[in-house]
Structure 1
Amino acid sequence: MVKNKASALSLAVSALSLAGSADAFWRLPCRGRTGVGRLDPIMDPGKVSDHVHVVHGGSNFGIDNTPQDLVDSDCTSCAVTQDKSAYWTPPLYFLHANGTAEMVEQVGGMLAYYLLYTDAANPNGKITAFPEGFQMIAGDKRQRSFAYPIPDNDKSTWTADQKTQNALSQKALGFNCLNYAANPEASLYRHFLPDKEYLDANCLDGIRLELMFPSCWNGKDVDSDDHKSHVAFPDLVMSGSCPEGFGTKLPSLFFETIWNTYAFKGVDGQFVLSQGDPTGYGYHGDFQMGWDSSEFLQSAVDTCTNASGQIEDCPLFNIQTEAQEQQCSFKEVSALMGENPLVCDSGLPLDVPIQSGPSYATNYPVVLPGDKTQGGAASSTKTSAQITSSASASAVVPTLSYTPGTSSITDKYGGGILLANTASSYVQTESASAVQSESTSTVTAAASLSEAVTDADGNIIATSWYTTGNQVMEMMIEQVDVTVTATAVETANAHARRHIGKEHRRVRGHPRR
């Protein structure tokens, strides 16, 4: 036998002991759905919206409610009874080849994360609760293209153009391919909806739609004309430094919803968001503050800093059962009486055109239930700028091979955010134990976390965060030289391990948490 030097990856993993609110969070389940319909009291107050939303939260949600109205709700479809905020996003539909559209099954409601990131420019600063009357949106329903590298290049290499608010808002979308038999992809890895062929082949447990909201506030306005100018993203989307004029740090909201796309495996058709978007680039969401009071939420921000992220670990929260969450709903809106947003036999409800881009999507007429003729066609005439709603209007989206990220344990609904400090929130890894299992070689023990953190040579090449059980875990990936005892199998696998080492470029000055 010959002794050799080979490149390998050592993984140092440790539970974090989080002081104060630094990088703490809680994960708010909203297992019930208060309703589904063409309602959006932020963007379309007092009138029927041009596309369907799924809504979670307080029962006083409606066609023109305010955040203050939500506080007086009789119930909430979320687990914490003191939170009657409203959280809504467009659902995913499957458009059959014959034109019939049906809403894809939503699995487990919604998870709303309250991530307590401080401003990187002021790491000891305070996180301020959402003020009463606060509301905001994230994403752009008419977006149909992405002008930045796919996948994201490392955050340390982002140019000024890649840190504009427009760029950051587009990187705040995630489409996580779920396969619980494999290690999960990291959050915000993919910013577009994969095509059906990809979903059928790879996403056995559906697709998780992810949305990050801005967390930097101007400190004075509870809303703005476009419902987003009073807030801004930090320069790394989830974390980082706030731009000038937005120095008040809010809780970082992150939405997750899961859709059972695998139920349509082998069925002819395509997936499309309710605003006629088959690309996913136009995914978006809305939030209205409806906690009992801003003072209560501030107490939660200051107190509920257990690293587990579990709402049960916060003594302030009153928690209701999942059955109680599912009993809460908003009142039916008269303007939408008789409309079925779950199934429509003539395209998306109602007559929403499919617009694949890459040009910015156009506006289209809003059709009311009474405007439909007996045959199902709209009485209004479509403009030439509109694209006919049909399964043949397929979007052209990039293809990323399915390569799982670092592993995490998920609950029965597949929740479990992966927070990474790398640009793409994605790290391809292979553990030292996995390398060892390929052969009969003896591999030296991996460095401990304390050794990795104090590594004078700066060999930490990636750092990843994830939740597992009741802990938040940090994974630091270090490239080291180890001594192995070569065998025939080992020799055959040497090239593969050298390739792994090449996949990870050292980034000096990368922040370690």
Structure 2
Amino acid sequence: MKTSTTLAALALACAGNVAAFWRMPCRSTTGIARIDPLVSPNDVADHAHIVFGGGNFALNTTFDGLARCTNPEHDCTSCEVTQDKSAYWTPPIYFQHENGTVEMVPNVGGMLAYYLFYLDNVQPFPEGFAMIAGNPSYRNFTGPQPDEELSKWPTYPSDQFFLQQRAIGFNCLNYAKDPEASLYRHQFPKKDDMDANCLDGIRMEMAFPSCGNGELDSPDHRSHVAYPSLVKEGNCPDGYDHHYPFLFFETIYATQNFAGMPGQFLISTGDPVGTSYHADFIMGWESSDFLAKAINTCTSDTGLISDCPLFNIQDDSKAAQCTFPTPDAFEKEDCEGPMDSLPVGVPIQYGPEPATKYPVQGAWGVKTSSLPKTSTPATFTHPSLGYSPVNPASTSTAQGGIIVAYESSSSSAAPAVTSAPAYAPPADHEVTTTYITKGHEVIEMVIEETEVTVTASPSAPPGYAHKHKRHLEKHAKRHNNH
């Protein structure tokens, strides 16, 4: 019989039926500030955000302000495709030293925003659309770690809390080892584990809901959208029959810079657990019609924006010039540090109960005063979830993002593996090229697909068999990140 095996190859998770996607590089930030036009319009946000995308990001950002900006200085984007002036923002990571001093962990390489098309009949985000994924008040992950096999997940997505918690990923990066899969763990690893294993930092991951009820937004910026039953794919809840692109953020932080130092990592929300990680999105593409055309036209399975003839691509140096106008209230505010507390005066709340509201320094009607520092409670511990390479066929780690797929066969017996051919491969083999970020470089990877035939009895569950063997060739060709 004919079966398949997947050798170590750089690829998107193969468990879904996605055939086309693109990966939007936004390698420069437009700014870091306590601004959140969705949650705190025209006011100071209660925690800092790192922002990418459209240059006209502001306290009251809208689709028109981003996509149809009339100020030439801010009519720009920090992403590589000039037609995309969407706003993408997340809370950054900080490190609190033993003496209480706090500083932002350096961001590496900006961010990647994936547009994947797992659901049927995907339609573009409409003009005026906005949403938030995650919840800044969460301080506890309630599920088993690692996640149960996908086959044990509910087939109907009635428990959105269950899915929301599994839409966050903390990927331990070590380029000398086989990579972990996306969304493998859902909160910070232990500091000692990070020091020992995450030698190239932490990749923060956030998956957005892709089922919608047709509304542009909702009061909480969440209830107009929902996750399908497997986070990235599956069944949408009743009433959520609008299928949008699966949006997936990846942001890398150089946590390895703090290896061996006593202290703790924090989300800017005052969260040492990590479960408050979240992400915001305001649609800012040139138009909904243009995005629809891109979805229907840009059908390459490489993920490279250069494979889409519609996209106008700018170089990184031009993108890096795009910054948002800093409001006067934030002109002297330092969100990077070192400083005495999280910006500004955000208290640390350990949970497991949800975080409580606190006075926001600088907000309307709030007196500016320092909040007390919080010491680590003796009972607080991070989960012990060791470094683990990807197994996309069996768990929710097969959610998206760049991962390495390992040997996985529909046979119970291990098939013979042929050695990787020297580059260049024969012309009749399918070849794709993709990239992985390493430090300030992007490494080009060439993948050759061929079929392998073995004789064995099938054992993998239906729908998760991989159809090709992929040979990996790492080129010496490297691309500067900035």
TM above 0.5, one fold?
yes
The residue that corresponds to 1:164 in the other structure is 159
User: Aligned ranges for residues 40-189 of structure 1 at < 5 Å?
Assistant: 40-73=36-69, 74-119=75-120, 126-159=121-154, 164-189=159-184
Which of 424, 428, 447 is the matching residue for 2:396? 424
Q: 1:173 to 1:51 in 2, by over 3 A?
A: same
| Distance in 1 (alpha carbons) for counterparts of 2:318 and 2:114 | 20
CA contact 1:54–1:88 (8 Å) conserved in 2: yes
SS, match of residue 188 in structure 2: coil
SS, match of residue 26 in structure 1: strand
Q: 1:372 to 1:133 in 2, by over 3 A?
A: closer
How big is the shift at 1:97?
Answer: 1.2
Rg larger in structure? 1
How big is the shift at 1:198?
Answer: 1.1
The residue that corresponds to 1:462 in the other structure is none
Q: 1:154 to 1:370 in 2, by over 3 A?
A: closer
Letter aligned with residue 209 of structure 2: P
Q: 1:479 to 1:85 in 2, by over 3 A?
A: farther
Instruction: Provide Cα deviations, 1:366-409, integer angstroms capped at 9, x if missing partner.
Output: 01299999xxxx62666xxxxx3346788422111112226xxx
CA contact 1:208–1:257 (8 Å) conserved in 2: yes
Q: 1:366 to 1:330 in 2, by over 3 A?
A: same
Q: Which ranges in structure 2 are unaligned for 5 or more consecutive residues?
A: 70-74, 409-413, 419-432, 436-444, 467-482
> Moved runs in structure 1, 4+ residues, more than 3 A?
12-16, 159-163, 369-373, 388-395, 426-432, 466-481, 505-513
The residue that corresponds to 1:310 in the other structure is 304
Number of residue equivalences: 423
Which of 189, 208, 226 is the matching residue for 1:194? 189
SS, match of residue 194 in structure 2: helix
Q: Which ranges in structure 1 are unaligned for 5 or more consecutive residues?
A: 1-8, 120-125, 383-387, 407-419, 433-442, 448-465, 482-504
CA contact 1:270–1:391 (8 Å) conserved in 2: no
Q: 1:87 to 1:212 in 2, by over 3 A?
A: same
Which of 204, 213, 218 is the matching residue for 2:213? 218
CA contact 1:208–1:258 (8 Å) conserved in 2: yes
CA contact 2:157–2:237 (8 Å) conserved in 1: no
The residue that corresponds to 1:379 in the other structure is 369
Instruction: Provide Cα deviations, 1:103-160, integer angstroms capped at 9, x if missing partner.
Output: 00000001000011124xxxxxx21000000000000001011221211001111247
SS, match of residue 206 in structure 2: strand
| Distance in 2 (alpha carbons) for counterparts of 1:364 and 1:479 | 63
Letter aligned with residue 193 of structure 2: Y
| Distance in 2 (alpha carbons) for counterparts of 1:100 and 1:163 | 43
How big is the shift at 1:45?
Answer: 0.4
How big is the shift at 1:217?
Answer: 1.1
How big is the shift at 1:424?
Answer: 2.6
CA contact 1:96–1:268 (8 Å) conserved in 2: yes
The residue that corresponds to 1:32 in the other structure is 28
CA contact 2:126–2:288 (8 Å) conserved in 1: yes
Whether 1:403 aligns to 2:403 is no
Identical aligned residues as a percent: 49
| Distance in 2 (alpha carbons) for counterparts of 1:27 and 1:211 | 14
Instruction: Provide Cα deviations, 1:468-496, integer angstroms capped at 9, x if missing partner.
Output: 73669799999958xxxxxxxxxxxxxxx
The residue that corresponds to 2:221 in the other structure is 227
Letter aligned with residue 103 of structure 1: M
Instruction: Provide Cα deviations, 1:285-334, integer angstroms capped at 9, x if missing partner.
Output: 00000000000000100011101100000000000001111110000111
Whether 1:445 aligns to 2:424 is no
Q: 1:142 to 1:477 in 2, by over 3 A?
A: farther
| Distance in 1 (alpha carbons) for counterparts of 2:415 and 2:189 | 41
Q: 1:360 to 1:445 in 2, by over 3 A?
A: same
Which of 290, 295, 303 is the matching residue for 1:301? 295
SS, match of residue 267 in structure 1: coil
CA contact 2:155–2:229 (8 Å) conserved in 1: no
How big is the shift at 1:163?
Answer: 5.7
Whose helix fraction is larger, Structure 1's or Structure 2's? 1
